[in-house]
Each structure stands twice: as C-alpha cells, then as structure tokens.
Amino acid sequence: MIVVMKAGATEDEVGAVIGRIKDLGFTPHVSQGVERCVIGCIGDERTKPRLQSLEAMAGVENVVPILKPYKLASRQVKMTRTVLNVDGVQIGGDHVVVAAGPCSVETREQVMETAVAVQSSGAKLLRGGAFKPRSSPYSFQGMGEDGLKLLVEAKAVTGLPIVTEVMAPEDVDLVASHADVLQIGTRNAQNFPLLKRVGKSTKPVFLKRGMASTIQEFLMAAEYILTEGNPNVILCERGIRTFETATRFTLDLSAVPVLKEESHLPVFVDPSHSSGHWRYVAPMALAAIAAGADGLLVEVHPRPAEALCDGPQALKPDTFQAMMDSLVKVAEAIGRKAL
C-alpha cells in the first residue's frame, strides 16, 4: 500500500506512521514529493489487510492499495486456465458450454419437457431452481426437496448434469446430494457463511456476481470458496444494478475480458436475468460468447406465460434452438466449439 500524507503533515506525524507500519510487519519506504510525503509499505498487503486503518492517523490523507486483494483466484498464483470436469462436461476448455432450463422447477411435466428440449438443442447442463430467492414473500418460493428430486429424474432421462441454487448453509448437504453444481445466487454473493460452507463441499460452485459487487469483490467472493479448499469455482456475470430500466439489470459484458485477465477461473454469462425480456436474450448470448465467455446460463420454459417465476425472460424451445444455431457459428468465428 501507499500512504499519502497531507500537504502540511508534520515530521512527528510522518514518524508515527512509519512506526505503525513497522509494527504491522511492513517495511516503510519514504518518498518526498514537491508537495507531499508518500510512504510505500513493502510486504504482502493481502494477507495482512490492516494497513487501511492508518487512514485514521493524524496527517494521513489516504491509503492507496497497490496489490489486488485476491491471491488464489488470481493468475499470478495460477497461470494456467482452470478447466473443470462436471460429470464428463468440460467447463473452461475449448468448448463453450450452455446450461439451460426453467427458472424454477414447477411440475414433473415441465421439467422433463424442458430438459429433453434443451438437450436436443445442444445444452450440456440442466439448470432449474428448487430453492428460489424471491423479492416478495407472496411469490412462489420454490418446490424445495421435491424440486431437487424432479431434477434428478430429468438427469436420469437426459444425462444432463444439474446446476441448482442453494440459499442457506444448512441446505448445502441436501442440495449437494442431488446436484452436480451448487449455484450461489446474486443476492448471496456476499453471504460469507454460505460461501465458506460451499467452500467445504467437493461439488463445483457456480458463483453469480452480486448485482452490486465490483469485479474485485466478485473475485474476493470466489477467494472465500477457494481458501476453504474447493478449487472448482465457475464465475458468472449476470447483470449489475444501474440507473437504466429498459433492461432488468445492465449486463456488464466487459467483465468477461477483465475476469479472464485477472483470474484463471472459467467465466459464464447469464443473459436471461440481466435482460428480463426474452427478446434480448439471444443477442446478448451471442455477444457474451464473442467477448470470450466460456459458457451461458439460459432460461427456457415450454409455456412462459404460465411460468410461476420470471416468465417474460424465458426462451421457448424453438427460440432457444434458433439461438443455439447462431451460437455454433459465433463460437467458430472466434476459434471455439459450441457443440
């Protein structure tokens, strides 16, 4: 870190800061500018994040971090890209992978019909929510364990591994006993007890970016999982909160190349929740792949107008098929495969 002293900071104030830097186990390095004194703190600021408290000392203007705060998620620690194997499906390799299915599991018929349809169009994973975070307590809250069982039935028929959300630490074992990938939703992106708990699981974790998380905070959420011992994390950009209301969230596709630059973890994009309207899903899906994403999470429902959750953003099987047809071509254009 760099400690920037105020313009009129006294020698005593500078001395006190230097003393404190040493106390915290860092080596100070003073640089006197034309107007201000700047003190570099040499040492690993990530594992000892207490330097920030120097800002409370007299004469200090502010404290500027130099190193990124993540380690295990960074490419400095792991240069090669992480490729996960989810029941035979490679995630983060040459093939872009599409996970598709309904927002929420509603009935056996609905799950089966959707699973068969998305598989035949080229999806490699089945998504579907049994535990649903809903902003209203009056909305459908998901089928819970019964929903998990329907997903397992759908996997038995189609062979598609299951991605499904877990919302509370005490549900991790239950969900992990049915699912192949544990999804953490945007509203739990900084639910640290939950992140620690899935970090202790052996199942891969599909981590959505918080709608208010910076990319740095997003990687720190991944770091929580990685430091607990689970190296299998998939990052997913799904839209952030901005002033724009024409779409439900603003899909931050620039996050894709930034995450690829900063981290070795695979990067997915969810074009459904960000858009909020099915009409915008396919263009954003293609854009995500062109930007370098390793895969997509897409909502598909056989009868969107009857969906218990997020119907307006669901593709029907035929529009999903059309999207996949284009996706194959865009993936090839950038030297990857989609099927």
Residues numbered 161 to 190 that lie near a second copy (CB under 8 A) are 167-171, 187-188, 190
Among 200, 306, 318, 339, binds a second copy (CB under 8 A): 306
Binding mask 88-127 for a second copy (x = CB under 8 A): ----------------------------------------
Among 12, 15, 83, 192, binds a second copy (CB under 8 A): 192
Binding mask 230-249 for a second copy (x = CB under 8 A): ----------xxxxxxxx--
Among 85, 94, 157, 193, binds a second copy (CB under 8 A): 193
Q: How far is the CB of 142 from a second copy (least distance, A)?
A: 10
3-class secondary structure per residue, 171-209: HHHHHHHHCCEEEECHHHCCCHHHHHHHHCCCCCEEEEC
| Phi-psi sector, 336: left (phi>0), alpha (psi -120 to 50), beta | beta
Determine contact, residues 108/150, Cβ cutoff 8 Å. yes
Query: Quick one: which segment of 82-90, 121-129, 149-157, 250-258 binds a second copy (CB under 8 A)?
Result: 250-258
Three-state DSSP class for residue 102: coil
Determine contact, residues 261/242, Cβ cutoff 8 Å. no
Q: Tell me which DSSP letter residue 238 carries.
A: -
Q: What is the CA radius of gyration of the chain?
A: 23
Query: Quick one: which segment of 120-128, 148-156, 174-182, 204-212 binds a second copy (CB under 8 A)?
Result: 204-212
Task: Give the phi and the psi of residue 315 in degrees, each rounded to 5.
Answer: -80, 150
Which residues are paired to 160 by β-bridges? none
Q: How many CB atoms are located within 10 Å of the residue 247 CB?
A: 17
Place of tokens 């959707």: 114
Binding of residue 216 to a second copy (CB under 8 A) = yes
Binding of residue 80 to a second copy (CB under 8 A) = no
Q: How far is the CB of 281 from a second copy (least distance, A)?
A: 9
Among 76, 107, 120, 177, binds a second copy (CB under 8 A): 76
Binding of residue 18 to a second copy (CB under 8 A) = no
Determine contact, residues 197/227, Cβ cutoff 8 Å. no
Q: And the tokens for 143?
A: 């089928």
Considering the complex, state which of residue 126 and residue 288 has its C-beta at the smaller distance from a second copy. Answer: 288
Query: Quick one: which segment of 109-117, 122-130, 174-182, 273-281 binds a second copy (CB under 8 A)?
Result: 273-281
